[in-house]
Every structure is written in C-alpha cells, then in structure tokens.
Chain A
Amino acid sequence: MELLFAVTIGSLYAGALYLMLRRSIVKLLLGLGLLGHAANLLIFSTSGFRRFAPIAAEGRAPLPGEVADPVPQALILTAIVISFGVLAFAVVLIKLTAAAAGTDDVDSLRTSES
C-alpha cells in the first residue's frame, strides 16, 4: 500500500510539473489540477496506514484494532474543496484570457509585461 501511494504521488507531481512546463494554457490548467491532487494525496498518506489513534476523551478506552488518524482526512476534505473552488476560477480565467488574447500559447501572453 505504501509503495503504491509513493509511486502514485510521485507520478502525479512529475506529471503536473511536465504539464505546467508546456506552452499551452490548457495544459497549464491540467497541471495545476494534478498538482493539487498530488498534495492532497500526500497529506492523506500522512495519516499513517496504521499509526496514530483518533482523539479519545480522557478515561475512555481507545478504539480496538488498527485505526488511521482521522485528522489528515479532515484536512484534505478542506483542501479538496478549496482547490476545487480555485480551479473553477482558474478555468473561467483561462477561458477569458484565451478569448481576449486569441491564442493558447503562454509565451505570447506578454501585454502586461511591456
């Protein structure tokens, strides 16, 4: 399981970087999406596949058996919602930019730099 996770997260990061280095604006967007997923999965993997126990009130017996830490799952729930919202904004922005500039080549978007 750990190995599968490591390989998946690694390929997501690599794929995201590769896509973001391309010149097409759409690939930049896809790369950003993948990057968010990679980070979320990485946080998920820190719950440990059989390590920390959830918080229990003092004096209560801990849960029996092996349990994963629920905190990272709560964290990525937040992170997923946020990255989804931001990505939705980015989609609209990229569509408007491409329409205004008449191109999808990132290198030619230079009117704001001169």
Chain B
Amino acid sequence: MGGLVANSNVLVLPVLLPLAAAAGSLPMGLVWQRRWAIVAVTAHLCVSLVLLFWLARGEVLALQVAAWPAPFGITFVGDTFSGLMLANMSLITWFVIAYATASVPENTQQLAFYPLALVLLSGVSGAVLTGDLFNLYVWYEVLLMASFVLLTLGAARTQLEGGLKYVALNLIASAFFLTGVGWLYGSTGTLNLADLSRRMEELPLTLPRIAGVLLLFVSFGIKAAVFPLFGWLPASYHTPPVAITALFSALLTKVGVYSIIRVGTLLLPSPPAALVDVLLCVAALTMITGVLGAVAQTEMKRLLSFHIVSQIGYLVLGYALYSVAGLAGAIYFFLHVSVAKAVLFLVAGELEHQYGTTHLGQLGGGYRDRPMLAVACFIGAMGLAGLPPLSGFFAKLQLALAAIEQEAVWSLVAALGVSILTLFSMTKIWAEAFWKQAPNQTSPRASVSWAMRVPTVGLALVTVLLGTFAEPLLGLSEQAAEQLLDRSAYLRAVLGGS
C-alpha cells in the first residue's frame, strides 16, 4: 500500500479535469454531454480519493506551478483538511449529477447544465486546493459565475428574483474580499498564504492587517451565510431544480466555511479574545436564527434551506472554539452535514417529482407509496438531528466535548437547544410527508426513475457509513485539525527549507 509515491503534480488534476471536460463538452449534444459529465465526475472522484489516500498519511503536498518558487508563483497545496473536503464534495457531486440526469427538466438540461456543473466543481476544487489569496478570489469568481447561471437556469420569475439577491450579495462579498486582499498585500507585501502566515506572525498586528483579515472574514461570512449575512440564502436556494440546490448546499456555503477555517488558522494563529467572543456569538445566533426560520416553514425546500444556515453555525462554532477538538468536530461535521443535507434535498426532489409539490400540508401517505424513500428520508433527517448511531450524533458529540473543554457553556446550551428544534422540524417533515394519511387530492403523478432512486438511497447509505466509521474519520479529522493548528508542515511544504 505504501509503495505509491505521492506526486504533487496530481494536485492540479481536480481543477483541470472538470474544466477541460466542461470546455470539451460544450459543442456536444445533450446525450453525449450527460455521458461525458458522468465520466468526468467519476474521474474527479477517483483523483480525489487517490489524493485523500496520500494526504491521509499526514504529509502536506505543494505544487509550485511552472516551478516559480513559493511567494512569487502560483501555489497549490493539499493537506488532510483539503483532501477530506475534496473527496467529500466530489462524492456528493457524483451522486447529484447522476440524480440530475433524471430529475432536472430536459429543456433546462439543454441550457449547458452539465458544463456549468463541471465548471462549478472545478472552481470549488481550485478554492479548496489553492495556496494563494488572490487565486482564492479567482476560483471564487469561477464557481460564482457557474452558480449564478445554474441558479437562474430557465429564468422562472422566482429564480430571477432569488438570483438577483444572490448575485448582488455575492458581488458585495467579492468587493469586500478584494478590499481585504488589497489591505493585506499593502501591509505585508505578499499574497501567498504560507508567506502571509509567516509575516503576520513576525510583523505587529497593525490596523490595516487586522482590517484586512476582518474584511476577508466578512466576505467569507456572506458566502457561508452566517448570521446576520444569510438573508440571500433562504430567498434563493429553493428556487432552481432540486438537484442544483443539493449541489449548492454541498459545495457553495461549505467553501465559505472552508475559507474561514483555512485563512483564519493561517493568518491569525492566535486569534484575539474579542474576535473569538464575536465568533462564538455569531455561531450561536446563526444556529438559532436558522433553525427558528426552519421551524416556521411548511414548504420542504425552504425549510431545508433555512437548515443550511443553522448547520453553518455548528461549523463556525467548531472554528471559534479554536482547539484541536473543536476543529476536528467542525471537519467531521462538514463531512456529515453535506451528505445528510444532500440526502434530504434529493428526497424533496423525488417527492416533488412524484406529487408535484413539496408543501408539507399537501403531501402525505409517502410511507405507503415509497417505503424506501421514507427510510432514506428518515436516515437523512435523524442524521441531521443528531440521533445515535448516525453521523450527526458523533459530530455534535465531538463539538459538545470541545465546547466543554473550552468552557464555552452558552455555545453548548445553544447547540443542544438547536438540536432539539432540528429534531422537531425533521420529525415534522417525516410525519407530514410520509406518515400521515394522504390528503384526498394528491395521488402519485409520475413514476420516479431509477436514476433518481439509486442516488438518494446511495447517499443515505453514505450517511450510515459515516456514522459506522466515525472513529477512523474522527481520527482523520483530528489529524487535519492538528495540521491546521501547527502550521509548520504547511509552511515547510510551501516555502521549503527551515
């Protein structure tokens, strides 16, 4: 097993493969675009898994593009954290693309759906693997452009209105990002994350440097949809076809939190106490407002969109605790929440396909019509709520232990309270859509093809596996967290020498 020698050139493949596939598939007809996309995503998944296999051994790979040495050239870096993220995102994209072949309406698929999804995957991989602040901005724009078009594909009125809010808020976030980059470059003279990290430690924390980092945090916060910057998410995420929403929930907001953790640990190795307090408050308020919004909803896709916000709070909490245990909890939570969330969105898509609605009041009797779907929904919902032995339980347990260790009692109380409300709203979904008697007017409309059923059940299985293999995965998360906090391996891999 150890015979395979890690090659850092592979780091560029997760970015190049989907991008080249997207460009190549543009002139093709829909049938070939579909096959091509599945081949490309499968290849991406294979590369990601190989990378994860290498990175899980604990070494940090760095690729200097065109052999320009570190602070001057373009750097790609992979460590355990980015490896885990990449494999997780790639796996979900694989299932969602397979699901999209049957669930996204044919005329929407024809509007370059597959090339756009591939560009999105490429942008996300770039953002996860880049080792340079300005390149992070560029990858962000790549994935945002793809997501803008995916969100408004087909141009229904709700999509346009939701899309407008999404585009406007994200453009503001990008401007904040650029401003922060400008201030950091102006005050340190470098953009390479490793080099920046070193200089931020050596140079005094002056106002422009603090402001630069804070601007980056605000920008990532908008993209990740934390309190109070999340308004655009529940307004826009439920409008496109469900497969696109599932893709967004697994990739977009998660990249925002990924950047908070990556940039935060590199640029502020010892965060000021005031910032930690603010982040703890933000995390708690994100959880609470998100879940309260969800509890008030009766439409399944909107309910789930609010839950995205609420779950982001747990991830920020893991970062704000700023310990190995906290970060490990956040990383495992990442793996768990993207899968559980995707399962629920895919279930919502199947219900919409079959009954023509996702309003809980008009649904019912799903358990009789579709027992497998009911089980998949139950697994996803209980996993999200955090019932043992599913993945959410271990994720929340780890975060709770970390909170006790850091004596963040109020965060712990908030996290547990929100869990109960999550359980409540998840029970509501399951009881309304599957358990109660069907209202008279709804009868199954269309049959659901296997291309939709298999990915839903497959992803539900992944949730179970995440829970079953919680121990090795938590071990990996812990290793990733240790690497994040002890930056020496990262700096050595990028900058070389000392």
Interface set of A (CB-CB < 8 Å, partner B): 16, 20, 25, 28, 32, 35-36, 38-40, 42-43, 45-46, 48, 52, 55, 71-72, 75, 78-79, 82-83, 85-87, 89-90, 93-94, 96-97, 100-101, 109-113
Interface-centre pick from A87, A89, A94, A101 (highest chain B CB count, 10 A): A89
Q: Whose C-beta in chain B lies nearest to the C-beta of A28?
A: B168
Asked whether B72 lies within 8 Å of A43 as measured between CB atoms, the reply is no
Asked whether A86 lies within 8 Å of B145 as measured between CB atoms, the reply is yes
Task: Tell which of A52, A78, A83, A93 touches B189, judged by Cβ atoms closer than 8 Å.
Answer: A52
Cβ–Cβ < 8 Å partners of B182 in chain A: 39, 42-43, 45-46, 72
For residue B152, CB closer than 8 A to chain A, the reply is yes
For residue B445, CB closer than 8 A to chain A, the reply is no
Cβ–Cβ < 8 Å partners of A101 in chain B: 157, 160-161
List the 4 closest A-B pairs by CB distance, nearest first. A46-B186, A39-B178, A112-B162, A43-B182
Asked whether B145 lies within 8 Å of A97 as measured between CB atoms, the reply is no
Cβ–Cβ < 8 Å partners of A113 in chain B: 234-235
Determine the distance from Cα of A89 to Cα of B162 in the docked complex, in whole angstroms. 15
Interface set of B (CB-CB < 8 Å, partner A): 72, 134, 137-138, 141, 144-145, 148-149, 152, 155, 157-165, 167-168, 171-172, 174-176, 178-179, 181-183, 185-186, 189, 191, 234-236, 238-239
> Apart from A71-B185, A83-B171, A111-B157, what 15 extra A-B contacts exist at CB < 8 Å?
A32-B172, A36-B175, A36-B178, A39-B176, A40-B178, A42-B178, A43-B181, A71-B191, A72-B185, A75-B181, A86-B167, A89-B149, A93-B167, A97-B164, A111-B161
Cβ–Cβ < 8 Å partners of A110 in chain B: 161
Cβ–Cβ < 8 Å partners of A25 in chain B: 164
Q: Whose C-beta in chain B lies nearest to the C-beta of A43?
A: B182
Taking A38-B175, A46-B182 as contacts, is the C-beta distance between A109 and B161 under 8 angstroms? Answer: yes
Cβ–Cβ < 8 Å partners of A100 in chain B: 155, 157, 160-161
Determine the distance from Cα of A40 to Cα of B235 in the docked complex, in whole angstroms. 29
